Amino acid sequence: MAGKPPNGSDADAAPQAAGRRGISLSALRRLEVLRLRSRVAVEGHFSGQHRSTTHGASVEFADHREYAPGDDMRHLDWRLYARAERDFVKQFDAETNLCVYILLDVSASMAYPQSGPNKLDYGAQLAAGLAYVAWKQRDAPGLVLFDNRVRTLLPPRTQRGHLAHLLDVLDGLTPGEQTDFGGGLAEAAAAADRRGLTVLISDLWAAPETIIRSMRYFRRKGHDVLVLHVLHPDEIALPFAGSRRFLDPEGGRSIVADAILARRQYTQELAAHVTAIRDGLHAADVDYALCETSKPFDLALASVLAGRNGGP
């Protein structure tokens, strides 16, 4: 057991057909009704959903976006209006509504199962969905891929083409090595220099205290934190029979056991593991959700975000 402006055309926002990780425009479009909300004050200007700790604009121009009611008329770009006959405002780095840091575990255990869609595929879909939702509401998604260290770092951006690049990275990722939440997430936390929403996507096969300690560090930096615990149905129910060889995909160790005899103890230990993580994260004021890969990723995200936003 055990991997144009932001409101411009869809062609700039996502791939047209499903790639190797099953990330497609049609799947992402189903998420357009969803909203990401932060429970903490964020750095930058906001037009309605997040609280802000700063006001005004920086001097560094970042991009254009379409005018929305409530935007400062002083930032309208009249030259662009003359060409496009549509209202656009200049967007500056300090005007980013919310930085959304998406941390995706790409360690070897995420590649289960070896045949068919695996946890890494599902994690990539969740990450793509979160990035798309953030982009559609004019927030800045970023991506960190890690195992025992940070393998890829895409800082949060709102510039044209950023989302398409982020989705391309997710579509082409490959499993890494062993997980090290202490090392990999410490690097990620150091890079998350602007307060925002941090989302960890992982199978969480590590000591609960290590996971909790790492997430508590993000909270101390002022981040709102959400953990999405990705597990395959096999890992939850151990639905095997007969003598089986169980392999640790990261450590290389294996044991041979009768699956039926092992099931009871395994499911008890898994329940204790999940409970320890969930309760420890809640005590640290971190949101937690178990995402089983048999559930369509868009439905899983809808359920998680509705719960955070006070929905049913």
pLDDT in tens, 21-48: 778 888 888 898 898 888 765 544 343 3
Q: How confident is the model at residue 14 (pLDDT cuts 50, 70, 90)?
A: very low
Q: Which of 39-53, 214-228, 236-250 has the highest mean pLDDT?
A: 214-228
pLDDT for 68 equals: 58
Q: Which two tokens mark 57?
A: 């604009």
Q: Give the residue extent of every domain in the chain.
A: 10-37+96-308
Say if CB 134 and CB 128 are below 8 A apart: no
Q: Residues 6 or more apart from 54 whose CB is under 8 A from it?
A: 43, 44, 45, 94
Burial status of residue 9 (CB atoms within 10 A of its CB: 0-12, 13-18, 19 or more): exposed
Residue 278 to residue 221: CA distance in whole angstroms: 21
Say if CB 171 and CB 131 are below 8 A apart: no
Residue 16 to residue 26: CA distance in whole angstroms: 8
Q: What's the one-letter identity of residue 171?
A: D
Alpha helices in 51-110 (DSSP H): 78-84
pLDDT for 78 equals: 62
Residue 204 to residue 161: CA distance in whole angstroms: 32
Task: Inform me whether the pLDDT recorded for 19 exceeds 70.
Answer: no
pLDDT for 299 equals: 94
Task: Inform me whether the pLDDT recorded for 64 exceeds 80.
Answer: no
Phi then psi dihedrals of residue 105, to 5 deg: -75, 120
According to DSSP, residue 294 is labeled T
Say if CB 13 and CB 163 are below 8 A apart: yes
pLDDT for 25 equals: 80
Strands 224-231 and 243-247 come out as: unpaired
94 vs 157 pLDDT, higher one: 157
According to DSSP, residue 34 is labeled -
Q: Residues 6 or more apart from 162 whose CB is under 8 A from it?
A: 141, 154
Residue 179 to residue 151: CA distance in whole angstroms: 12
Strands 254-258 and 287-292 come out as: unpaired
Give, to the nearest 10 degrees, the angle between helix 208-220 and helix 259-283. Answer: 20
Residue 174 to residue 259: CA distance in whole angstroms: 30
Say if CB 144 and CB 101 are below 8 A apart: yes
Q: What's the one-letter identity of residue 283?
A: A
What's the rounded mean pLDDT across residues 196-225? 95
Superfamily of domain 10-37+96-308: von Willebrand factor, type A domain (3.40.50.410)
pLDDT tens for residues 103-119? 999 999 999 998 888 99
